[in-house]
Amino acid sequence: MIFALPARAKLNLNLEVLGRSADGFHDLRTTFQAVALHDLLEVEPAKETTFTTSGLRVSAESNSVLVAQQALESAAKRPLPARIHLDKRIPSGSGMGGASSDAATTLRALKTMHTLDIDLAPIARELGSDVPFFLRGGRAHAEGRGERLTPLADESAWFAIAWPGIELSTADVYRAWDELKGEGQNHLRRAAEHVEPSLKEFAASLGPGWQMTGSGSAFYTPINNEQEGRHAIGKLDCWTALTRAVGAWA
C-alpha cells in the first residue's frame, strides 16, 4: 500500500519578532495559514529505506524527510524502513515552510504505516519551529518559536504568490534582524532585504499590496478569485502560484 500525502505550504499573515530568548532562539507572534499549494510525499513499506525526489531542486542528503524519519525511529526504538518519494513543488528557502511540512508529513505517514502508538508533538518541536503547525494545519495563532499554537476558525481566502528564485537562509535573516530589528506586517522583511538586496527591487516590482511570508523570499497578496489572481501574476517574470486557504487536516 502506498501512502500519498500532500505536504502543504503555509503563509504568515503577520509576523512580529519580540526579541531573542535566553536559549538563543527568537520569540515571535504570527498567524499561520495553510494553503493548497503542496509537495507530494509517497511512502510505502520496504525492507530498507530509499529516498528519491522529483520536481523542484532539493537536496536529497540530510533532507528534512530523512531527519524526521530518523527522529521517529529514535522515539520508536526500532527501524522504520520505507520507500519514500518526494515530489517537490514548494520552492526551498521561500518562507512557505516546505521543509517543515515535509518533515511533519513524514512523521504522520510513517506513524500510520507502522501503526505506532507515539505522540508526534514532542518530536515535531525538536525538528523545527514550524513543524508542530504542520501536524494539524488550518489557521492558527503561534507564539514562542512558533510552536505554541492556538487554532483559529477557518476562513475562506485566495492568494497569489510570487517567488524571485532566491533561497534565503532563515538563520541569516534572523541574524540580520538582531542588528536591524523590524516593523510592519512582517518584522523580518527589512532583514531579508539586507541579506539579499535584490529582494527590495523585486518587492517594488510587484507593486502595492504584496507581503513577504516568513523569513522570505516569497511574497503573496490576497485575491478574491482565480481570475483576479491570474491578472495579478500575468505580467510577472518569476515563479508564481495561485492557491487557496485550507482547513485543518488533523
Active-site amino acid positions: 10, 130
CB atoms within 10 A of CB 240: 16
Residue type, 117: D
User: For residues 9 and 96, is the Cβ–Cβ distance under 8 A?
Assistant: yes
Q: Which of 222, 241, 220, 246 is nearest to 95 (CA)?
A: 220
Q: Which three cell numbers stand for residue 168?
A: 534565503
Helix (H, G, I), strand (E, B) or coil at 189: helix
Cα-Cα end-to-end distance for the chain: 21
Beta strand 50-55 with 239-244 is unpaired
DSSP, residue by residue, 105-146: HHHHHHHHHTT----HHHHHHHH-TTHHHHHHBSEEEEEETT
